[in-house]
Amino acid sequence: MKLVLPAAPIPDRVPGLSRRTRAVLFSGLALGLALAALAFWFAVARPVKVLPRIAPLSAFSLEDQYGLPLSSADLRGRMVFINFTYTGCEEECAAQRASLVALRETLRVQGRLGSEVVFLTISFDPERDTREALQTYAAQLAADRNNWRFATTDPTSLKALIGGELGIYYDKPDTAGRIAHDQRVVLVDAHGMLRARYRADALDQGKLLRDIGLVQQELGSSGLMRQVYEASHLFLCYPD
């Protein structure tokens, strides 16, 4: 004969916990599970894309093609595409120049040039790229000083900014005046935050315009959407 023991009664409450405490605990557990599910969905679906905040750009001071001072503070309030070159770079830098000019014209047509986006070309050959040389170079690109400036500074400061902080390689001029260098363009947002790096010899205008839009939407957000953008950074919701 099989002996069947009676089941132990299930207590209607956890000893030592009041009904109110249990309700708070269960509510907290439910909220935690909901937040975990939301976080998982956000990380997978990535409903809002952002450009990474790579690093704040340190303060710098340059001199433009007219001998006027140009500081990083002067660039605040607008997005800036910065490229690094020297005026003696001819065929090797032709694609870079053409791409930047094409982007400038597109932004002009869209009414965003100067008001939302500007350009800055920094020369790492200050010995040869005098004010006159930079003025001539700017004229060749039909550049308007209000939206595209050309500047340089002393070699030590250039190396600290370009080679040190941004990690962009460039060598000393060879006997023919040529300078081996990495062709790079960077995008800095209106708050001075470095947001993107691009290969300057293979610029994709569609990608550049997309990135401008992403930064503009993020910086223009407020309230709940601001929190959504912060979550997008937390979950690395970067574009492909």
Among 141, 118, 114, CA closest to 188: 118
The answer, as to whether pTM is greater than 0.85, is no
The whole-number pLDDT of residue 73 equals 96
Q: Give the phi and the psi of residue 179 in degrees, each rounded to 5.
A: -125, 115
The whole-number pLDDT of residue 50 equals 97
Residue matched to tokens 């209607």: 12
Under-70 pLDDT residues of the chain:
1-17, 24, 26, 29-47
Quick one: residue 114, left, alpha or beta (phi over 0 = left, psi -120 to 50 = alpha)?
left
Among 36, 44, 53, 56, CA closest to 233: 53
Per DSSP bridges, beta strands 69-71 and 61-64 are antiparallel
- pLDDT tens digit string along 189-211? 999 999 999 999 999 999 999 99
For residue 68, CA distances in Å to 82, 118, 131, 230 come to 18, 17, 10, 38
Residue 82 CB coordination number (10 Å): 21
Distance separating alpha carbons of residues 167 and 207, to the nearest angstrom: 22
The whole-number pLDDT of residue 149 equals 99
55-234: what fold? Glutaredoxin (3.40.30)
Q: Give the phi and the psi of residue 82 in degrees, each rounded to 5.
A: -115, 125
- Per domain, the residue ranges of the chain are 16-45, 55-234
Residues paired with 51 in a beta bridge: none
Long-range contacts, stretch 16-20, CB < 8 angstroms, 24+ apart: none
Whole-number average pLDDT of the chain: 90
Chain-centre distance of CA 114, in angstroms?
A: 18
The whole-number pLDDT of residue 7 equals 56
For residue 149, CA distances in Å to 142, 164, 186, 203, 238 come to 11, 22, 15, 20, 30
The whole-number pLDDT of residue 163 equals 96
